[in-house]
Structure 1
């Protein structure tokens, strides 16, 4: 959140503005002023944009509060020029929970649109879509139609929109999670290609941007599903590193530099009597060297709020936490003592090995028996379904 400005919180969920959002507001103000040469019109246009993003916040709160009902916390909500992002701690494994969380946002936009329509009917305002051609004169009508468009757009069956998650949840009622995600991702990529072709034929840069946004989002979801498929049912101990360098609270930044240059480790647990009291990451070390003397104790600059995990913890859940917290390394603790490190690099290596073994096992099954293949053993000993691996 270093590049975002905290503007408040709702129900304990922090609301942030990314710095690029401020550029958007300034650009909208300049656009309306140049077009109308009127300060009032510029302020009116900027006000409409701010109103839209209030609706975006409410949309994301729809996701966040629905997720809370299912025991899934939300870390924060951040506004970007292209929309909002609610950072959930994890995606629930139950398909119907994901379904209700996904539709929670668009449902808010529908409620807002109906509420504004009711106000316009009572006050005699226009409900015609032509209001969008003069948003400064018909702010409520414009906001109503914008919410309607947001609801419809978000329900398109394509990642990363909510409709893609709804489709995945419905497919997951009958298929395994990875297969459901891959199918939903394929649908989304097909829509992205269609948007791109229409954008090229009409030379519409907005459609081209949406096409790229949807295509990349589908790829990311497919990748995340592959990670989840190969880590589900696997304990952390299967992927943790057991040979690594550590530092003590009495070590200095100079000692940390020696450890960094002497091996391939990038992050160093800081120990006191064998107990983890912090984690010194390479980025923190480099920054500390420019701000402190080399004789500064590492305990003063290490991250004391790093979370730890146990060797028996489910790898897929810890992996989701690592992504949610943007944490590349997690100390693994057993009985209060450090026994390993879990890194995103090692999780990736485990997935590559598992994928290669899956591919080899498939190559040994006759083509006409693939659909009837029984449950097989994964390298960790846990049974997995006979669905093909996600490419």
Structure 2
């Protein structure tokens, strides 16, 4: 689903995912209906200076006002939680691409995840610490401030309880939640980072199955969806770290194909296809006035569905993806994965020196897996 930028904090784009916009009314209804108000009113009365009038809280449209205010307050709390992660990451010199609020909470996208265990530890625990501090501020407001109405007392007290719950839940060692990242950081003190990640990911998968089981037993769709999220994120992170480990020390120049076979950019699609089959290739670089204009594969032709008389250059993506030859191979893979066709031109300065593809990455990974741990080749 799409995300929309709604503002910036410390220069970090704050985005709201469409899933959150769909879920907020549901959350407001869940909070304002049924026995939720009565249950939480009893908890809030435990630290509020006086009793709450439950009948007044449940009268007329008041439950929906409470539900809407509490739902928005919850996601403001989630934003503060993610800003906690972001603040500590920035103190370590790590840039934050964005903070996105969505149906399962929030995500602070770091440009790089530190492999130093102590840095990851403090970045991970910063979010739950902020949630606890937010809960403490709400508790003190209910306990000592003359809040204007019982509705405000209830909502602020509810946020105090919910922020404690948020902190505790996030500290479960279910990777990639905060607790799982803390676990990986502690494991990485005495073992390789990739091994620590695999161990934390396995524990995360175990929690995913527990969430799924609880979702079935309690008929909770949210827990069931959480199980899928934790499972997918844990296994995905484990694969990404393993890939990063295999590509460690390599640049795009180590993977790219130099001086790739070319065809003129004005070649027709029909002639281009004939040459593909004649030479048993899946694609060619396009030459334009002595320069390489891009790379077109058979998948590009299938996607564009061009006439045989059209120039094959019409199948080029706009813009043509480019990566620097000196770029870290793993970091460049993210840009290449988003490129249509899975190919990118490799440049040195303003000059195109080759082409790199996802197939080049697959070949490099395969060779490194077969190579001994010491003396692995660094170029292919």
Q: Deviations over 1:175-216 (max 9, x none)?
A: 111111111112222233333344444554443333332222
Equivalenced residue count is 345
Q: Which residue of 2 aligns with 1:162?
A: 178
1:175 aligns with 2:174: no
- Secondary structure of the residue aligned to 2:324 is coil
Say if 1:270 and 1:299, in contact at 8 Å, map to a contact too. Answer: no
Give 1:280-319 correspondences, 5 Å limit. Answer: 302-303=318-319, 308-310=323-325, 312-319=326-333
* Structure 1 residues 32 and 118: CA distance shift in structure 2, 3 A: closer
Q: Which residue of 2 aligns with 1:53?
A: 75
Say if 1:245 and 1:259, in contact at 8 Å, map to a contact too. Answer: no
Say if 1:90 and 1:321, in contact at 8 Å, map to a contact too. Answer: no
Say if 1:77 and 1:87, in contact at 8 Å, map to a contact too. Answer: yes
Higher gyration radius (CA) = 2
Q: Which residue of 2 aligns with 1:191?
A: 207
Deviates more, 1:56-65 or 1:134-143: 134-143
Q: Which residue of 1 aligns with 2:236?
A: 220
Q: Which residue of 1 aligns with 2:351?
A: 337
CA distance in 1 between partners of 2:353 and 2:235 (Å)? 35
Say if 1:103 and 1:162, in contact at 8 Å, map to a contact too. Answer: yes
- Secondary structure of the residue aligned to 1:85 is strand
* Structure 1 residues 158 and 270: CA distance shift in structure 2, 3 A: farther
- Secondary structure of the residue aligned to 1:308 is strand
CA distance in 2 between partners of 1:300 and 1:329 (Å)? 11
**What value does the CA root-mean-square deviation take over the aligned residues?**
4.0
Give 1:87-102 correspondences, 5 Å limit. Answer: 87-102=109-124
- Secondary structure of the residue aligned to 2:345 is strand
- Secondary structure of the residue aligned to 2:158 is helix
Return the offset for 1:300.
11
- Secondary structure of the residue aligned to 1:138 is helix
CA distance in 2 between partners of 1:213 and 1:334 (Å)? 40
Deviates more, 1:211-220 or 1:42-51: 211-220
Say if 1:31 and 1:42, in contact at 8 Å, map to a contact too. Answer: no
Q: Which residue of 2 aligns with 1:120?
A: 142
Return the offset for 1:317.
3.4
* Structure 1 residues 339 and 53: CA distance shift in structure 2, 3 A: same
Say if 1:56 and 1:84, in contact at 8 Å, map to a contact too. Answer: yes
Say if 1:182 and 1:222, in contact at 8 Å, map to a contact too. Answer: yes
- Secondary structure of the residue aligned to 2:378 is coil
Q: Which residue of 2 aligns with 1:352?
A: 366
Structure 2: state its 5+ residue gaps.
Answer: 35-57
CA distance in 2 between partners of 1:217 and 1:122 (Å)? 42
Q: Which residue of 2 aligns with 1:20?
A: 19
Q: Which residue of 2 aligns with 1:151?
A: 167
Return the offset for 1:140.
0.7
Return the offset for 1:136.
8.0
Deviates more, 1:342-351 or 1:95-104: 342-351
Return the offset for 1:376.
1.9
Q: Which residue of 2 aligns with 1:131?
A: none
* Structure 1 residues 212 and 285: CA distance shift in structure 2, 3 A: closer
CA distance in 2 between partners of 1:269 and 1:65 (Å)? 46
Say if 2:286 and 2:292, in contact at 8 Å, map to a contact too. Answer: no
- Secondary structure of the residue aligned to 1:376 is coil
Say if 2:295 and 2:316, in contact at 8 Å, map to a contact too. Answer: no
The TM-score, its normalising length taken from structure 2, stands at 0.74
Return the offset for 1:255.
6.4
Deviates more, 1:84-93 or 1:44-53: 84-93
Return the offset for 1:45.
0.6
* Structure 1 residues 317 and 34: CA distance shift in structure 2, 3 A: closer
Say if 2:78 and 2:106, in contact at 8 Å, map to a contact too. Answer: yes
Say if 1:288 and 1:301, in contact at 8 Å, map to a contact too. Answer: no
Q: Which residue of 1 aligns with 2:45?
A: none
The TM-score, its normalising length taken from structure 1, stands at 0.72
